């Protein structure tokens, strides 16, 4: 600093003393894993008390009609590319269909062109490491979701054994990245494993739920309560560092409800890996104090809008060649306007659970698919019609087949499978007005045939255009199951075979013996 500049800076008010730091906002993007929309007390949860997330929501623009994909990797691919996950071939949560292609331009790469330092903490779930996809500072733990306490951390390639709860360490790492970033705006993508299974939280967070719900649910809610504690920690940290007002904070989840499904689902039908409202809707809080007035936004928005929005706010130019591929829209008009405004109100969002066995994408065109426009959801929640799917570990279709056969139990629910995994009639779409009818109980397909036909035609057009790109990108490749997953699949198959055998025996015993006279 020159003497003349030093003297000049002394005359400036404190806030203007560091123009480089205030010119562009920092961005703290927090994404939780498998947490339902209703899992904050602000959204009506009957057991959770989450004062920190509630405070963040109250200080934020709340996107109340914000949609993500039905499972982990697809949502993450869409977030980081601004395009539907099919366009990057990310159609599963298992290898190789989790791999984000290396020639994809990502959000951190774009932000870096605008002078941002980019940091990643936590769960990645997009194949080869985040350092190869634009993040210059990376921290995660070697044992992923299985390592809740005393994790083995890997920070920028260096391994260290830590003491404590994984999510507490993740948030501390994010704070360390922020502290050590000098003279540069920063982007921190903080991606938790909580409350994804396996479920385990520090006892102090679990204890309040014991005796009120099952042990599994208590651990799940404990993981959410711990997230709230950590949100409180990092918000206090930003304030203490005087970064509160030039930092944008965003909080979302990556898919719908899981282990808290039978506790509370905000009246919605559906969970993770379904195309119902509860499988796809996330809370979405966007806080930038002094710039975005806290208010509720009802316009239909989605994960694909994150990239164009954050690029716009950061002044990162999206290259002309890339622009036609970006399917999301810049949210700034709705973030900045306190009053309701028209904003891409005719847009369609296309949902697909995917997860089909390799080579069977075409068979699943109408299996677990949906189209959203305005408040309407056009949906086919059905197993595919290819009997080879079950043998090839088509787990989602398998679940829907058992629900169609009358099962009350399915993933995440002990008794409500008929509701949350509900199967729609064969051969046609069902239509629901989800804001009036979040439980999707009143099928309007017959009452509004024109709307159903128009939305169905939009879906066909989308599928036809996207299918070849998705296949070319590896979205229909054979799955290479991890040992953990394979063990689970085999266990489930063995249980199913044993049950069938038992039923067969019971049937035989109840049949009248033809050799004995009545
Ligand atoms: Ca997830």
Measure the CA–CA gap between 331 and 307, rounded to whole angstroms: 10
- In the reported structure, the alpha carbon of residue 516 is separated from the centroid of ligand 1 by a whole-number distance in angstroms of 58
Measure the CA–CA gap between 279 and 52, rounded to whole angstroms: 25
Q: Report the pLDDT value the prediction gives residue 517, as an integer from 0 to 100.
A: 44
Q: Where are the domains of the chain?
A: 17-336, 349-472
- In the reported structure, the alpha carbon of residue 126 is separated from the centroid of ligand 1 by a whole-number distance in angstroms of 12
Q: Report the pLDDT value the prediction gives residue 513, as an integer from 0 to 100.
A: 57
Cα 95 to the chain's mean position, in Å? 18
130-186 pLDDT per residue, tens: 999 999 999 999 999 999 999 999 999 999 999 999 999 999 999 999 999 999 999
- In the reported structure, the alpha carbon of residue 437 is separated from the centroid of ligand 1 by a whole-number distance in angstroms of 25
- In the reported structure, the alpha carbon of residue 412 is separated from the centroid of ligand 1 by a whole-number distance in angstroms of 13
- In the reported structure, the alpha carbon of residue 339 is separated from the centroid of ligand 1 by a whole-number distance in angstroms of 33
Q: Report the pLDDT value the prediction gives residue 33, as an integer from 0 to 100.
A: 98
Q: Which fold has domain 349-472?
A: Arylsulfatase, C-terminal domain (3.30.1120)
- In the reported structure, the alpha carbon of residue 18 is separated from the centroid of ligand 1 by a whole-number distance in angstroms of 39
The two structure tokens encoding residue 395: 């787990």
- In the reported structure, the alpha carbon of residue 145 is separated from the centroid of ligand 1 by a whole-number distance in angstroms of 11
Q: Are 303 and 78 in contact (CB under 8 A)?
A: yes
- In the reported structure, the alpha carbon of residue 94 is separated from the centroid of ligand 1 by a whole-number distance in angstroms of 12
419-475 pLDDT per residue, tens: 999 999 999 999 999 999 999 999 999 999 999 999 999 999 999 999 999 999 999
- In the reported structure, the alpha carbon of residue 471 is separated from the centroid of ligand 1 by a whole-number distance in angstroms of 23
In CATH, which superfamily holds the domain spanning 17-336? Alkaline Phosphatase, subunit A (3.40.720.10)
Distances (CA, A) of 472 to 86, 433, 490: 10, 35, 30
Q: Are 241 and 46 in contact (CB under 8 A)?
A: no
- In the reported structure, the alpha carbon of residue 30 is separated from the centroid of ligand 1 by a whole-number distance in angstroms of 13
- In the reported structure, the alpha carbon of residue 9 is separated from the centroid of ligand 1 by a whole-number distance in angstroms of 48
Beta strands in 4-157 (DSSP E): 26-32, 61-63, 66-67, 117-122, 137-141, 152-155
Nearest Cα to Cα of residue 235 among 32, 48, 30: 30
- In the reported structure, the alpha carbon of residue 198 is separated from the centroid of ligand 1 by a whole-number distance in angstroms of 12
The two structure tokens encoding residue 86: 């099919």
Say if residue 231 is exposed, middle or buried (CB neighbours under 10 Å; 0-12, 13-18, 19+): buried
- In the reported structure, the alpha carbon of residue 253 is separated from the centroid of ligand 1 by a whole-number distance in angstroms of 8
- In the reported structure, the alpha carbon of residue 195 is separated from the centroid of ligand 1 by a whole-number distance in angstroms of 9
- In the reported structure, the alpha carbon of residue 122 is separated from the centroid of ligand 1 by a whole-number distance in angstroms of 13
- In the reported structure, the alpha carbon of residue 352 is separated from the centroid of ligand 1 by a whole-number distance in angstroms of 15
- In the reported structure, the alpha carbon of residue 35 is separated from the centroid of ligand 1 by a whole-number distance in angstroms of 8
- In the reported structure, the alpha carbon of residue 260 is separated from the centroid of ligand 1 by a whole-number distance in angstroms of 13
Measure the CA–CA gap between 63 and 284, rounded to whole angstroms: 5
- In the reported structure, the alpha carbon of residue 433 is separated from the centroid of ligand 1 by a whole-number distance in angstroms of 26
- Going 447 to 450 to 453 to 458, the CA torsion angle's sign is negative
- In the reported structure, the alpha carbon of residue 33 is separated from the centroid of ligand 1 by a whole-number distance in angstroms of 4
Q: Report the pLDDT value the prediction gives residue 76, as an integer from 0 to 100.
A: 98
- In the reported structure, the alpha carbon of residue 73 is separated from the centroid of ligand 1 by a whole-number distance in angstroms of 7
- In the reported structure, the alpha carbon of residue 250 is separated from the centroid of ligand 1 by a whole-number distance in angstroms of 17
- In the reported structure, the alpha carbon of residue 259 is separated from the centroid of ligand 1 by a whole-number distance in angstroms of 12
Beta strands 430-433 and 376-380, pairing class: antiparallel
Q: Report the pLDDT value the prediction gives residue 497, as an integer from 0 to 100.
A: 82
Q: Report the pLDDT value the prediction gives residue 493, as an integer from 0 to 100.
A: 81
Measure the CA–CA gap between 78 and 90, rounded to whole angstroms: 9
- In the reported structure, the alpha carbon of residue 450 is separated from the centroid of ligand 1 by a whole-number distance in angstroms of 35
- In the reported structure, the alpha carbon of residue 290 is separated from the centroid of ligand 1 by a whole-number distance in angstroms of 32
H, E, C per residue of 137-200: EEEEECCHHHCCECCEEEECCEEEECCCEHHHHHHHHHHHHHHHCCCCCEEEEEECCCCCCCCC
Tokens 């109340």 correspond to 64
Low-confidence ranges of the chain (pLDDT < 70): 1-22, 512-518
Beta strands 284-287 and 247-253, pairing class: antiparallel
Q: Report the pLDDT value the prediction gives residue 7, as an integer from 0 to 100.
A: 38
Beta strands 66-67 and 301-302, pairing class: parallel
The two structure tokens encoding residue 192: 């938790």
Nearest Cα to Cα of residue 126 among 394, 469, 473: 473
The span from the first CA to the last CA of the chain, in angstroms, equals: 107
- In the reported structure, the alpha carbon of residue 333 is separated from the centroid of ligand 1 by a whole-number distance in angstroms of 29
Q: Report the pLDDT value the prediction gives residue 293, as an integer from 0 to 100.
A: 98
Measure the CA–CA gap between 228 and 223, rounded to whole angstroms: 9
- In the reported structure, the alpha carbon of residue 254 is separated from the centroid of ligand 1 by a whole-number distance in angstroms of 5
- In the reported structure, the alpha carbon of residue 275 is separated from the centroid of ligand 1 by a whole-number distance in angstroms of 14
Q: Report the pLDDT value the prediction gives residue 510, as an integer from 0 to 100.
A: 78
Comparing 17-336 with 349-472, is the CATH topology the same? no
């Amino acid at each position: 600093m020159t003497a003349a500049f030093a003297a000049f800076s002394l005359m400036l008010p404190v806030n203007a003393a560091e123009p480089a730091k205030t010119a562009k906002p920092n961005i703290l993007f927090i994404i939780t894993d498998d947490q339902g929309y209703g899992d904050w007390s602000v959204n009506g949860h009957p057991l959770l008390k989450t004062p920190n997330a509630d405070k963040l929501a109250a200080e934020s623009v709340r996107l109340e009609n914000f949609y993500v994909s039905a499972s982990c990797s697809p949502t993450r691919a869409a977030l980081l590319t601004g395009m539907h996950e099919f366009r990057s071939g990310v159609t599963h949560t298992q290898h190789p269909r989790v791999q984000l292609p290396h020639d994809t331009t990502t959000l951190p790469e774009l932000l870096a062109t605008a002078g941002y330092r980019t940091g990643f903490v936590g769960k990645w779930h997009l194949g080869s490491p985040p350092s190869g996809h634009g993040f210059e500072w990376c921290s995660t733990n070697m044992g992923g979701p299985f390592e809740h306490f005393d994790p083995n951390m890997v920070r920028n390639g260096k391994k260290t054994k830590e003491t404590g709860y994984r999510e507490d360490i993740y948030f501390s790492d994010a704070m360390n990245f922020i502290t050590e970033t000098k003279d540069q705006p920063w982007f921190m993508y903080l991606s938790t494993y909580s409350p994804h299974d396996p479920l385990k939280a520090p006892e102090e967070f679990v204890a309040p739920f014991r005796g009120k719900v099952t042990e599994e649910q208590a651990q799940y809610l404990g993981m959410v309560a711990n997230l709230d504690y950590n949100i409180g920690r990092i918000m206090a940290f930003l304030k203490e560092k005087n970064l509160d007002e030039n930092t944008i904070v965003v909080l979302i989840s990556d898919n719908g409800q899981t282990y808290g499904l039978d506790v509370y689902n905000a009246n919605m039908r559906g969970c993770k890996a379904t195309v119902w409202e509860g499988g796809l809707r996330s809370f979405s809080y966007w806080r930038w104090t002094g710039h975005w007035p806290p208010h509720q936004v009802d316009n239909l928005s989605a994960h694909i809008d994150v990239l164009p929005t954050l690029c716009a706010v950061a002044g990162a130019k999206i290259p002309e060649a890339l622009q036609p591929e970006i399917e999301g829209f810049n949210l700034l008009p709705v973030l900045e306007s306190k009053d309701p405004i028209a904003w891409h109100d005719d847009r369609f969002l296309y949902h697909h659970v995917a997860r089909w066995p390799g080579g069977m994408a075409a068979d699943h065109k109408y299996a677990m698919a949906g189209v959203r426009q305005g408040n309407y959801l056009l949906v086919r929640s059905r197993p595919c019609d290819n009997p080879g799917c079950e043998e090839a570990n088509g787990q989602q279709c398998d679940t829907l087949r058992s629900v169609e056969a009358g099962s009350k139990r399915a993933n995440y629910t002990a008794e409500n499978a008929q509701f949350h995994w509900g199967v729609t009639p064969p051969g046609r779409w069902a239509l629901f007005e989800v804001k009036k009818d979040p439980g999707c109980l009143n099928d309007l397909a017959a009452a509004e045939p024109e709307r159903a036909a128009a939305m169905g035609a939009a879906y066909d057009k989308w599928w036809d255009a996207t299918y070849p790109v998705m296949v070319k990108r590896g979205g229909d490749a054979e799955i290479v199951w991890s040992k953990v997953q394979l063990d689970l699949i085999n266990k489930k198959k063995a249980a199913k075979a044993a049950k069938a055998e038992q039923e067969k025996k019971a049937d035989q015993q109840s049949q009248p013996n033809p050799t004995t006279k009545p």
